[in-house]
């Protein structure tokens, strides 16, 4: 009983000795939007679009829990005239760590280099239409249409990025993401070409870049 009471007290006295600036647990919340789609939508010939924003809290200038929400979609007609269409909401939750070590005794910088992980999630519908099936020997021809396929996709992201305070409370920065879908799909199983929040779903992994502008409250 006595040991229990003494130990935390010891730890506290140590902390105050080493840090001249008292530690503040909560250091505000940054709300931001991604401006990269302005460029990326144009680059994909308007085949795909993705808009997103997020909020990220600053805990001890060290831990940055984050929630991201967005809306994305695709409309693509292949060289074989198959049309794929989707749009839907997506969300991600995760945690970043600040990799910049504050200098001893100095005020922690508002410019941060972050690395962390996300779990992404999207529940959406897609259509895949005009799949022409022919058989020359039996002289058969049919068109397959899947007008409304509902799926839930979950993925994992490893992220890295930075945020710089450009004007007071206004932040800019980038995030690069390496994404991997969770769960193995069986051979022949229907699989959407595009997943909102994940992007093109061709190999089970994908890259993403965000360019963010935000405000810290």
The binding site for other proteins (CB under 8 A) comprises 36, 39-40, 43-44, 76, 78-80, 82, 84, 128, 131-133, 135, 137-140, 142, 144, 146, 162, 164, 172-174, 176, 187-191, 193, 200, 202, 207, 209, 211
Q: What does the chain come to in residues?
A: 217
How many degrees, rounded to 5, is the angle at CA 182 between CA 176 and CA 186?
130
Q: How far is the CB of 170 from other proteins (least distance, A)?
A: 14
Q: How far is the CB of 110 from other proteins (least distance, A)?
A: 14
- In this structure, are residues 55 and 92 in contact, taking their beta carbons and an 8 Å threshold? no
Task: Compare residues 65 and 214 and give the one whose CB is closer to other proteins.
Answer: 214
Q: How far is the CB of 16 from other proteins (least distance, A)?
A: 35
Task: Compare residues 135 and 150 and give the one whose CB is closer to other proteins.
Answer: 135
E strand intervals along the chain = 26-34, 48-59, 63-77, 83-98, 112-135, 140-167, 170-181, 194-195, 199-200, 205-216
Separation between Cα atoms, residue 66 and residue 210, nearest integer Å = 14
Residue 5 φ then ψ, to 5°: -75, -35
Q: How far is the CB of 82 from other proteins (least distance, A)?
A: 5
Q: Which of 53, 92, 88, 104 is nearest to 210 (CA)?
A: 53
Sort residue 193 into left (φ over 0), alpha (ψ -120 to 50) or beta.
Answer: alpha
Task: Compare residues 122 and 201 and give the one whose CB is closer to other proteins.
Answer: 201
Q: How far is the CB of 20 from other proteins (least distance, A)?
A: 29
Task: Compare residues 13 and 142 and give the one whose CB is closer to other proteins.
Answer: 142
Separation between Cα atoms, residue 111 and residue 174, nearest integer Å = 12
Q: How far is the CB of 65 from other proteins (least distance, A)?
A: 24
Residue 9 φ then ψ, to 5°: -65, -40
Task: Compare residues 123 and 149 and give the one whose CB is closer to other proteins.
Answer: 149
Task: Compare residues 40 and 65 and give the one whose CB is closer to other proteins.
Answer: 40
């Amino acid at each position: 009983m006595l040991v229990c009471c003494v130990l935390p007290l010891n730890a506290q006295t140590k902390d105050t000795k080493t840090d001249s600036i008292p530690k503040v647990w909560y250091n505000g919340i940054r709300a931001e939007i991604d401006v990269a789609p302005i460029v990326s939508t144009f680059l994909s010939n308007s085949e795909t679009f993705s808009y997103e924003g997020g909020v990220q809290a600053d805990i001890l200038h060290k831990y940055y829990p984050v929630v991201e929400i967005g809306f994305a979609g695709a409309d693509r007609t292949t060289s074989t005239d198959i049309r794929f269409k989707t749009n839907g909401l997506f969300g991600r939750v995760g945690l970043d760590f600040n990799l910049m070590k504050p200098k001893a005794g100095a005020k922690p910088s508002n410019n941060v280099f972050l690395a962390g992980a996300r779990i992404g999630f999207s529940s959406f519908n897609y259509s895949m239409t005009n799949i022409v099936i022919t058989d020359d020997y039996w002289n058969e021809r049919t068109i397959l249409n899947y007008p409304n396929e509902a799926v839930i996709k979950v993925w994992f992201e490893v992220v890295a990025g930075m945020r710089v305070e450009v004007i007071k409370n206004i932040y800019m920065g980038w995030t690069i993401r390496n994404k991997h879908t969770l769960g193995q799909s069986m051979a022949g199983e229907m699989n959407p070409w595009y997943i909102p929040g994940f992007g093109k779903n061709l190999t089970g992994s994908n890259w993403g870049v965000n360019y963010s502008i935000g405000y810290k409250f």
